[in-house]
Amino acid sequence: MESDNKNANLSGQGDDYKYGFFTDIETEEFPRGLNEDVIRLLSAKKQEPQWLLDYRLKAYAKWLTMSEPTWAHLDYPKIDYQNLYYYAAPKKKENLTSLDEVDPELLATFEKLGIPLTEQKRISGVAVDAVFDSVSVATTYKEDLEKVGVIFCSISEAVREHPELVKKYLGTVVPPSDNYFAALNAAVFSDGSFVYIPKGVKCPLDLSTYFRINAKETGQFERTLVVADEGSYVNYLEGCTAPQRDENQLHAAIVELVALDDATIRYSTVQNWYAGDKEGKGGIYNFVTKRANCLGKNSYVSWTQVEAGSAITWKYPSCNLIGDNSQGEFYSVALTNNKMQADTGTKMIHIGKNTKSTIISKGISAEQSSNAYRGLVKIMPSAHGARNYSQCDSMLVGDKSSAHTFPYIDVKNDTATVEHEASTSRISEDQLFYLKSRGLDSEKCISMIVNGFCKEVFKELPLEFSVEAVKLLEMKLENSIG
Amino acid sequence: MTSILDNILDSSASSSNEQAKTWLKNNGVPTNRDESWKYTNPAKFMTGKSLAPKVVQSKSLEKLSPYFIKVSANDIASNLPAGVNLKKNNLADEVIDFSSALNRLHNAQNYLLEVEKKTIIDQPILIIHTNEIAPSFEIKVGQFAEIAFLESFAPDAEQESTTYARVKLTVEDGAHVQHIKTVIGGAEQIHIAKTTATIAKNATADFFIFASGSKLTRQELLAEINQSGSHVNAHGLFALRANQHADQHITLNHNAAHTTSDQLFKMVLDDESRGVFTGRLEIAKDAQKVDASQLNKNLVLSKKAHVDTRPQLLVHADDVKCAHGATVGQLSPEEVFYLRSRGINQQRAQKILCHAFASDAILRIKSEVIRHWVNDLLFENFEQFALEKFES
């Protein structure tokens, strides 16, 4: 690993991927492969309590009995799980007290990503918990949040400082036995964010995490847990970028949201992991399990995602609508280009009375990519008066791209109303001609049409994300128009 | 699971179809871990034993048309117009899945029905099934021929029976064919059927299925639209009550440019019935200018009825129009109230509205005589619906 670091600054290659640089800092890694000893070592390294180690080992035992899912409309070579590093952390001075002690190179990396922590602290009102590889480097605005009782810290810190909360909620939404990647994550998760919003508190800031994979051939296994207590409100933003690599990297994260009575959680993601080059070489394998439990009455969770990166995306942010009158919403834009493959969608499980869900999914596939929507709407017998509306639109750019839709609708209650609509189309010649006749060049036209197509989703994003998302799509669609 | 497989193999011990036996031995009986049987677990319904259906004579059916083919286990009787020929033949053993394996295993004799080119027959050809467990037909419709088939399965509802039907349809250039199938079963009956079709240039093929009554109805349609200018309609209706389970599995492959298709599938579910719809629409690479639509609508009348629907689109070409939709809903209290205010009693009002919902699909049947006949079947069927007290 150390030898790789020497020659790894790739930023000067002038490629399309703006974030394809590699930060030259020493990292600390375990040997390749996964076994009980690695998990024990990982747990010991992080000074975890016994219950968490037991949890990891149990998940690992479960993982060994499971097989990798094959039902998704994806095609990728088999992953060798014994050839990955399961822990990588920047070597750092013990006990950081202020940002000044953070490795300056690390800070420079974030600056390139557009989230200078030091700047951010002064100018923007966003608190950032930056995850660099596996260990949370610095958390800003923590003090401000503490004043209102909001806990926002890395999950390892939460395990130490708030074990009762973590123990109560960890794995309740996504149990380790849920699926193959969830079990793997539960066994080896390294870090992530933890948020707790106490009763009746409207979180004064939008919380945000930037994840970043840095070291080579490292699986990144974050774990995020957001708990919104009765009557609270939180807006959580997550952005992801990863440096350029030839190898494929694995990313298997879990996000768990818990909303109690009258709580609101809005969770937004802009995902722009490295997607591989034009020939489909390299890129991140993104296998993420995201799920929310709307436990309380009138609770509300919305997932908004803009998926613009990763070689492979396997991601289904879901809602279990357990409390009466609870609401789940899913807004998604998934853009694939080159040889990217995405199989993404949502699951809405209606359990409580008068639960409502809305699904708006927009897929754009360009060049030779494949983009699939896969969603489940399940109405359990107890969900009287449940209501769902789903709309999935696909847009094809280029005649070698493909778009698929696989909705699953499962209704066990006669008072439920479920609607699903989907369409597939391409940018029409008429639209293009009209815009061109107004003096716009064709790339600008396409960008406008695509933005119009995605508007319903973008308007759900917080302002700064919405601007970033528009830029991201523009950047991705450059050169893809034949 | 093995016991079902053993029973299937035992009950067809005399069969010489090694391909089907090998398929079953290798793949076993599907479970709900198989994507295409996800919502219909054969183990829940089947014992694997096969029992021949008992014949009921349907007088009203025979009045529809002078042309008929009456199929029984060892015999076939027919009256066919000029240009339509019936022969015995061997279906090239096409075992592609569980349903086709079941058919090949139990089939005693395959028949080839050939429609000569440019033959235009106004009246439908009735294919009346009696006591054959695994009837199998290969139908070839020659160039520019126009013909309609009505296949009827109506075994004695009181008696336990199994049917594994198979149709292989070839539609040549410029031909227009309708294939309408009705399955009226009983509480102890299982009907598993596979229909495959290949469609050539500038041709149309219309499929319709109406099913009700059986413990399990599983109907699979696989249509390959191989050349440009062709159109396929795949419509149908399930009216289910009691513990009935029906599963419609449509796969439409647009393999050529300038082809179109339309699917409308409706299910009305009462009591504890369960309806499953899977529609898979695949547009091949370079199959540009395809226009395909798919719609599944379901009416749920009771608390314990259950619907699963999977309208799937796989699009590999960019200049296409594809839309699909699915809805699950109930009768609107306002509509019921409107009819009640006109002096129609509760039950009648609900039946009228159910019928109206269903007739949308039935109206897609082109042949007028068949349309009326299916409509009458549906009407009789709705008379048996319990329709629990409507909560408005």
Cβ separation A410–B302 shorter than 8 A: no
Query: What sections of B185-271 are H helices per DSSP?
Result: none
What is the domain count for chain A?
Answer: 1
The whole-number mean pLDDT for each consecutive block of 10 residues of chain B, a chain of 392 residues, reads 77 79 89 88 86 77 90 87 91 82 89 94 92 91 96 87 93 96 90 95 96 93 96 95 93 95 94 93 91 93 90 88 87 92 91 91 94 91 71 44
Q: How far apart are CA B248 and CA B267, in angstroms?
A: 10
CA A357/CA A347 separation, integer angstroms: 10
- Residues A86 and A188 sit within 8 Å (Cβ to Cβ): yes
Q: Would you say A303 and A255 are in contact if contact means Cβ atoms under 8 Å apart?
A: no
Beta carbons of A416 and B326 less than 8 Å apart: no
Per-residue pLDDT for A13 more than 50? no
**Structural contact between residues A186 and A53, judged by C-beta atoms closer than 8 angstroms:** no
- Tell me which DSSP letter residue B341 carries: H
DSSP state string for A164-226: HHHHHHTTTSS-TTS-HHHHHHHHH--B-EEEEE-TT-B-SS-EEEEEE--STTB-B-BEEEE
- Residue A117 in any domain: the answer is yes
Encoded tokens for A197:
């919003």
Q: Which long-range contacts (CB under 8 A, 24 or more apart) does A60-69 make?
A: A60/A34, A60/A36, A60/A183, A60/A187, A60/A188, A62/A176, A62/A177, A62/A183, A63/A176, A63/A180, A63/A183, A63/A184, A63/A186, A63/A187, A66/A179, A66/A180, A66/A183, A67/A180, A68/A180, A69/A179, A69/A180
Does an H or E element contain B387, and which? none
Highest mean pLDDT among A12-26, A315-329, A445-459, B147-161: A315-329
Retrieve residue B361's tokens.
């699909």
Closest C-alpha to A261, from A226, A291, A228, A224: A228
Q: Do B326 and A420 touch (CB under 8 A)?
A: yes
Q: Encode pLDDT of B326-354 as tens digits.
A: 889 888 899 999 999 999 998 889 999 99
Residues of A within an 8 Å Cβ radius of B: 71, 73, 379, 381, 394, 396-426
Provide the pLDDT for residue A334.
92
* 3-state SS class at A296: coil
Q: What is the pLDDT of residues A165-187, one digit of tens each?
A: 999 999 899 998 889 999 999 99
Nearest Cα to Cα of residue A94 among A43, A135, A140: A135
How far is the C-alpha of B195 from the C-alpha of B315, rounded, in Å?
Answer: 23
Cβ proximity of B297 and B330 under 8 Å: no
Determine the pLDDT at residue A131: 58
Contact present, A334 and A362 (Cβ < 8 Å):
yes
User: What proportions of chain A, in percent to the nearest 5, are helix, strand and coil?
Assistant: 25, 35, 40
Tokens of A378: 């399940």
Cα of B311 to nearest chain A Cα, Å: 6
**For range A120-149, the mean pLDDT:** 57
Token couple for B365: 């049947």
Q: How many CB atoms are located within 10 Å of the residue B29 CB?
A: 22
Q: Å from A411 to nearest chain B CA?
A: 5
The pLDDT value given to residue A270: 83
Residue with tokens 């479960």: A62
Query: By C-alpha distance, which of B312, B228, B329, B226 is closest to B263?
Result: B312
B318 touches chain A (CB under 8 A): yes
Q: Which domain holds residue A15?
A: 2-315
Which residues on chain B are in Cβ contact (under 8 Å) with A420? Answer: 309, 311, 324-327
Angle formed at CA A371 by CA A368 and CA A375, multiple of 5 degrees: 170
Q: Is the pLDDT of residue A9 over 50?
A: no
Write down the pLDDT at residue B2.
54
Q: From the CA of B36, how many Å to the nearest CA of chain A?
A: 11
What phi and psi, each to the nearest 5 degrees, are found at residue B277?
Answer: -130, 130
On whether residue A46 sits in a domain, the answer given is yes
The reply to whether residue A399 touches residue B288, judged by beta carbons under 8 angstroms, is yes
Terminal C-alpha separation, chain B: 45
Cβ count near A44 (within 10 Å): 10
Measured CA to CA, the distance from residue A72 to residue A67 in angstroms comes to: 14
Nearest-10 Cα torsion for B239, B244, B249, B250: -10
Residue A337 lies inside a defined structural domain of this protein: no
Rg, chain A, Cα only: 22
B319 half-sphere exposure, CB direction, 13 A CA radius:
11
With CA atoms as reference, the chain B residue closest to A366 would be B318
The shortest CB-CB distance from A409 to any of B317, B319, B326 is to: B326
Which residue in the set A381, A397, A402 is minimally distant from B316, CB to CB? A402
For residue A287, list its beta bridge partners.
Answer: A314
Put simply, whether B273 touches A (Cβ < 8 Å) is no
| Tens digit of each residue's pLDDT (9 = 90 or more) over A330-361 | 999 999 888 889 999 999 999 999 999 999 99
Residues in chain B with CB shorter than 8 Å from the CB of A394 are 313, 315
Q: How far apart are CA B129 and CA B127, in angstroms?
A: 6
The answer to ipTM > 0.95 is: no
Question: CA B49 to CA B37: how far, in whole Å?
Answer: 20
pLDDT surpasses 60 at A11: no
**3-state SS assignment for residue B327:** strand
A5 has a pLDDT exceeding 50: no
Chain B residues touching A422 at Cβ < 8 A: 311, 313, 323-325
pLDDT confidence of residue A69: 84
In angstroms, the Cα distances linking B244 to A375, B269, B392 are 27, 9, 26
CA A425, A426, A429, A432: dihedral to nearest 10 degrees?
Answer: 120
Q: What percent of chain A has pLDDT over 70?
A: 77
Of A19-33, A273-287, B264-278, the least confident: A19-33
> Are residues B135 and B129 in contact, defined by beta-carbon separation less than 8 angstroms?
yes
Q: Which of B325, B327, B330 sits opposite A415 (nearest CB)?
A: B330
What DSSP state is assigned to residue A12? G
Amino acid at B304: K
Q: Which residue has the tokens 């009557």?
A: A231
Rounded to an integer, what distance in angstroms lies between the CA atom of residue A345 and that of residue A331? 9
Q: Which residues of A touch B350 (CB under 8 A)?
A: none
How far apart (Å, rounded) are the C-alpha atoms in residues A350 and A334?
Answer: 25
* Six token digits for residue B274: 């369960």
- At A17, list the tokens: 């991927």
Predicted local distance difference test score (pLDDT) of residue B273:
93
